[in-house]
Amino acid sequence: MLNTDVAKRRDEAISRGVGMQTQIYAERALNSEVWDIEGNRYIDFAAGIAVVNTGHCHPKVMAAVTEQMSRFTHTCHQVLPYENYIRLAERLNAAVPGDFKKKTIFVTTGAEACENAVKIARVATGRNAVIAFGGAFHGRTFMGMTLTGKVEPYKKGFGTMMPDVFHVPFPQDVHGISTADAMAGIEKLFKADVDPARVAAIIFEPVQGEGGFYPAPADLVKAIRALCDKHGILMIADEVQTGFARTGTLFAMHGHDVAADITTMAKGLAGGLPLAAVTGRAEIMDAANPGGLGGTYGGNPLGIAAANAVLDVIEEEDLCARATELGSRLKQKLEAIRATTPEICDIRGPGFMVAVEFANPGTKEPDAGFTGRVRLEALKRGLILLTCGVYGNVIRFLAPITIPEAHFAEAMGILEESVAAARLG
């Protein structure tokens, strides 16, 4: 079977609304390697968009899922509960930053986690409005896309967004947007658009993912916390992309000295099985009446078994420290490439959540064309890279944190060659 043949069938069978970065049809995957149906082998620096932080098919995760599958795959926790669901909640309650009693709910996707965080904030505060940031990504459901701070392709044509959601600029050092600008944006909202006493929550990503891998500066996180405390607003940290060792700590908020009231997570939580969670202050999480939260598949047994194994693997293999080490070596490599690549205008990101941004050296305009060429040159050479950013001019690196040394070194070589090839046009 050829990729091109399946691609033709895909065009006939699947809505074009589901965008695709490649037409490489996966056949099998192991840790940081993927093979397609033609037998071609790739090094995977996408990890299913920050999902398999513990590598494709980690033996411990596979064993846990297989063992669970041999007993039962679904009972619906709301009908017949199971113990490992409670154990995972206990572990997340202990691990999520915040020195207070916490409770958790399980859902299935990151968007659903963000939806539920807003529902919980609304029912706990009795308020309606939510503040989010430009460039943010919180999913494709109605509230998820409304919270998202990017029109094309996420909102365009999809009609009226949810009411009472407001956006302010997110700090971007490299583009001259500061914490002061972001906070002034919120103050302006309070004067012009919404009474702070009507605001239920401020939601932010500790490192903007889809929006371009811009880390939230420490002073922004502190200022949001102070503003929330002043006005009785709840602070929601969306750790869907930053979670589970990616940034060099279990959660990116471990790098800050204030904590969110509510944390959303998904992606890296269950090593590739669909599982998401919302963890927050116990009294806030208890505000909804029984039946108001949950869903048929929320906390599916296979995802729960996988997630308990993922947490074990992160601990046993010291993946937080490994993320910091790999990220620092990746940044060194990018700095070396920068010496001969004036198109590189920024290299950033905590831990192994690293990105490189490209701009035209003459005009300083974001250069999506160059960025796309780097990605395609890398793909030709067997390295899967992802782009991101509101202008599509950022390459984000999201390899499994378990990547073996030899594959990491090979990927660094391909990256260097691909940037050089992109410069040749």
Is residue 4 packed enough to be buried (19+ CB in 10 Å), middle (13-18) or exposed (0-12)?
A: exposed
Q: Which residues contact 103 (CB under 8 A, 6 or more apart)?
A: 89, 93, 279, 280, 282, 285, 286
The H or E element containing residue 65 is helix 59-71
Q: Is the Cβ of residue 54 or residue 341 nearer to ligand PLP in the bound state?
A: 54
Q: Which is nearer to ligand PLP, 34 or 266 (CB)?
A: 266
Q: Which of 48, 97, 98, 110 binds ligand PLP (CB under 6 A)?
A: 110
Q: Could you tell me the end-to-end alpha-carbon distance of the chain, in angstroms, rounded to an integer?
A: 32
β-pairing verdict for 33-36 and 26-30: antiparallel
- What's the min distance (Å) between Cβ of 364 and ligand PLP? 28
Tell me if 227 sits within 8 A of 186, measured CB to CB.
Answer: yes
Q: Which of 232, 227, 172, 230 is nearest to 205 (CA)?
A: 172
Q: Is 389 in the site for ligand PLP (CB under 6 A)?
A: no
Size of the site for ligand PLP (CB under 6 A): 15
State the nearest-atom distance from the C-beta of 372 to ligand PLP, in Å: 20
Query: Taking CB under 6 A as the rule, does residue 53 contact ligand PLP?
Result: no
| Of 85, 106, 133, 137, the one binding ligand PLP by CB under 6 A | 137
Give the residue with the Cβ less far from ligand PLP, 85 or 204. Answer: 204
Q: Is the peptide bond before 153 cis (omega within 30 degrees of 0)?
A: yes
Q: Is 244 in the site for ligand PLP (CB under 6 A)?
A: no
Near ligand PLP by CB under 6 A, which window of 104-112, 173-181, 376-384, 409-417?
A: 104-112
373 binds ligand PLP (CB under 6 A): no
| Closer of 249 and 341 to ligand PLP (Cβ) | 249
Q: Which is nearer to ligand PLP, 209 or 366 (CB)?
A: 209
As given in the structure block, the two tokens for residue 301 are 């047994």
Token pair belonging to 138? 């919180």
- Check binding of 240 to ligand PLP (CB under 6 A): yes
Contact 263, 96 (CB under 8 A): yes
The structure tokens listed for 348 are: 């950033």
134 lies in the site for ligand PLP, by CB under 6 A: no
Verify binding: residue 138, ligand PLP, rule CB under 6 A. Answer: yes
Q: Is 371 in the site for ligand PLP (CB under 6 A)?
A: no
Q: Is 266 in the site for ligand PLP (CB under 6 A)?
A: yes
Residue 108, phi-psi category: left (phi > 0), alpha (psi -120 to 50), beta (remainder): alpha
Question: Which residues form the interface with ligand PLP (CB under 6 A)?
Answer: 49, 109-111, 114, 137-139, 205, 209-210, 238, 240-241, 266
